Chains A and B, each alone.
Chain A
């Protein structure tokens, strides 16, 4: 979530976006306020910086085109995270389809891409953690990331992922077990 002490309020951003004259200023403020949290959310889903950058830009292009569809029924933050999540999952899905035609293993491919990323320099336990995360099914990875890395409340996660709190808790519990099992096996 963006730091509310240093970033403009959602109301201010939305007010600027309502006028043609101030639209660009409003959009700049939106990118400034939400660029960082959305990047990290996307990066932990797609795991490679270059891919995260692409997906982030696509996300902001969608937001730019479709901001008038934001009806204010949810928080702006929730709406933006939903777009970013969908965009990242679509990206991973299209990549998986490409890999299916090239007979490549999706999970291993993602791990290899992550290890080849010059911006991935984790080692030891941290490295194994990210490898385990890369092996999680995509939706479960989204749940694990929002809870473990972003420490988001289950209620907020439910609004973003359109799932019940109970289902999210169960999904996180299973994800933690899978990650731990992988780490144990690799540390073995």
Chain B
């Protein structure tokens, strides 16, 4: 009967395909074949016997032994897992903090550099600028705050003339003073 013939052909093809797929998925057999080994690879050959229900009560027996020997789970297990997680978070937070500090430092350095470029103006420049603009600052007040070497700009009509003269003369040597014949 044709249907029976086709069934046999189909079964034979299916068996061949199965055999081919099994061959492909057996790297151990391929490896042993390459070595020319005669060791069989079918699972039944390699099996050993074990008492019936050995695995059924394995967990009970192990827990009983743990209990009998007084083995305690380390109390720190949960906390160690937690500590590890906290440690990871702490490391991340530290990294963010370091980055923050670094950025802040960079900004401060930049601000300092701007200030430093402003400092390149010497006090003489500042004093000259201010003295030529009496409308901005009173010259009397200015003389009180400017550095000593800027007092030479103090006008001679100052009410505190003695101090101004004294300071003015301070840079002169004794010989020069004699020559002045004051």
In the complex, residue of chain B having the shortest beta-carbon distance to the beta carbon of A152 = B28
In the complex, residue of chain A having the shortest beta-carbon distance to the beta carbon of B84 = A71
Cβ of A11 under 8 Å from chain B: no
Cβ of B69 under 8 Å from chain A: yes
Cβ of B118 under 8 Å from chain A: no
Cβ of B65 under 8 Å from chain A: yes
- Total chain B interface residues with beta-carbon distance under 8 A: 34
Distance, CA A26 to CA B171, complexed state (A): 92
In the complex, residue of chain B having the shortest beta-carbon distance to the beta carbon of A176 = B37
Which of B4-12, B45-53, B120-128, B149-157 lies at the interface with chain A?
B45-53
Distance, CA A125 to CA B46, complexed state (A): 10
**Shortest CB distance A126–B (Å):** 6
Q: Is the CB of A17 within 8 A of B58?
A: no
Distance, CA A140 to CA B35, complexed state (A): 17
**Shortest CB distance A169–B (Å):** 9
Q: Is the CB of A20 within 8 A of B78?
A: yes
B residues less than 8 Å from A28 (CB atoms):
59, 63
In the complex, residue of chain A having the shortest beta-carbon distance to the beta carbon of B62 = A60
Cβ of A43 under 8 Å from chain B: yes
Nearest 5 interchain pairs by C-beta: A31-B59, A68-B80, A18-B81, A68-B77, A35-B58
Q: Which residues of B contact A (CB under 8 A)?
A: 27-28, 31-32, 35, 37-40, 45-46, 48-51, 54-55, 58-59, 61-63, 65-66, 69, 71, 73-74, 76-78, 80-81, 84
**Can you name 24 A-B residue pairings with CB atoms under 8 Å?**
A18-B78, A18-B81, A24-B63, A27-B63, A43-B50, A44-B48, A49-B51, A57-B61, A57-B65, A60-B62, A61-B66, A64-B73, A67-B77, A68-B80, A68-B81, A120-B49, A122-B48, A126-B46, A129-B46, A148-B39, A149-B46, A151-B27, A173-B35, A177-B35
